[in-house]
Amino acid sequence: MSPLQLTVLGSTGSIGLSTLDVVRRHPQRYRVFALCAHRQVDALFAQCREFRPRFAVLGEATAAADLQALCREADLPTEVRHGVEALVDMASLPEVDAVMAAIVGAAGLAPTLAAARAGKRVLLANKEVLVMAGELFMHAVQVHGATLLPVDSEHNAIFQALPADFSRGLAACGVDRILLTASGGPFREKPLSELSTVTPEQACAHPNWVMGRKISVDSATMMNKGLEVIEARWLFDAPPEMIQVVVHPQSVVHSAVQYVDGSVLAQLGCPDMRTPIAYALAWPERIAAGVAPLDLFKIGRLDFFPPDFERFRCLRLAYDVLAAGGTAPAILNAANELAVAAFLAGELAFTEIAALNEAVLDGLPAGPEGSLDDVVAADAQARELALRLLRARCTR
């Protein structure tokens, strides 16, 4: 059997690195066709030296020129391109079998949608695609015959716990509810009065997972879980009332499905993203991921709590925009990206992330998610309003 030709969108991020680690363990099964990153020339060059992809893509022309020079000097066969159009090509060229969609944020929307429209196997680690354009994206998957496999550990766990024919409807399969677990992040028990002084370093110190800075902050505010609720709604065609967030500090139960007969099927494992990545790469088979076996005796106990919506206001906002529908989720996602960037830059207090998100939602009415242009326009308007509010705050 010929190796699966893989494009990795976001190859220098944490998901991209874990993906390449799994690929490295199975050289006969997988061939890296394209590697895509934003601006990390040296890191992408090191990956090109090892995996010798046909293409590499960077965000800017100058960085791409620097990488192309390095590849020529090293006598590598890699052609370097840049920009959004190049990302779209890498996700949709006929030679590509599968696309790991691991670009963080709204930037991943266009190439991931292109992969779906090209009928690829889409390994979805970019939840913002479904948050911003869930109806459009799922329609593209269905119309063009793409295979959609969730890579987020929670949604991958749910996928494993659902029956194979869940597309005929969750209720028809006897599903009562989806139990979406969350660690609660580093501030689950921190006094509310102390949250305003939280630093970026503290927010990025997740107790269980090794992740990028943006997603680490989202985990600390539980916005990440809110985005995952929206993602689950589209992935599994689940009404919001069927999706229950469960705080589980140990991050061992990655999520579960509760059935009408009282059964609960859960997927457990060590908190390592290589497990869901390997599952998605090899599905419906299973391959070694390099992850240590789960030692239940060492863990000893598993705890579960309901989420505190006063502490985690961003989670409540996510449920609100899911109920509102249309472009409301895209507006929240855009506002949050700006808010988190401002917090990481020291321009916004941790507790003001939720406040800015709410202010943008209040100031920008949602419209229908009629087309990709509608989504992109809502995203741009939300970012513009968030920037105006940030500037006004800084000039007070």
Q: DSSP states of 193-250 as a string?
A: GGGGG--HHHHT--SS----HHHHHHHHHTHHHHHHHHHHHHHTT--GGGEEEEE-TT
* Strand partners of residue 265: 257
Q: What is the pLDDT of residues 294-310, one digit of tens each?
A: 999 999 999 999 999 99
With a cut of 70, list the residues of the chain below it in pLDDT: 210, 394-396
Lookup result for tokens 């390592």: 272
Query: Which pLDDT does position 211 carry in this prediction?
Result: 75
The DSSP output letter for 251 is -
Cβ pair 47, 57 in contact under 8 A: no
Query: Which pLDDT does position 233 carry in this prediction?
Result: 97
Lookup result for tokens 């998901």: 15
Please give the structure tokens belonging to residue 255.
């999520």
Cβ pair 257, 162 in contact under 8 A: yes
Please give the structure tokens belonging to residue 295.
């030692």
Please give the structure tokens belonging to residue 9.
């969108």
Between the CA of residue 94 and those of 5, 87, 140, 177, what are the distances in Å?
Answer: 10, 14, 17, 39
Please give the structure tokens belonging to residue 3.
């190796």
Round the CA-based radius of gyration of the chain to a whole number and report it: 21
Q: What is the pLDDT of residues 6-58, one digit of tens each?
A: 999 999 999 999 999 999 999 999 999 999 999 999 999 999 999 999 999 99
Lookup result for tokens 């991958």: 156
What's the CA gap between 57 and 81, in Å, rounded?
5
Query: Which pLDDT does position 356 carry in this prediction?
Result: 97
Q: How many CA atoms lie within 13 A of 119 on its CB side?
A: 5
* Strand partners of residue 150: 124
Please name the helix (run of DSSP H) or strand (run of DSSP E) that holds residue 100, with its range, or none: strand 98-101
Lookup result for tokens 């209720």: 171
The DSSP output letter for 165 is T
Cβ pair 100, 30 in contact under 8 A: no
What's the CA gap between 235 and 249, in Å, rounded?
25
Please give the structure tokens belonging to residue 129.
């695609």
How many C-beta neighbours within 10 Å does residue 205 have?
12
Query: Which pLDDT does position 207 carry in this prediction?
Result: 76
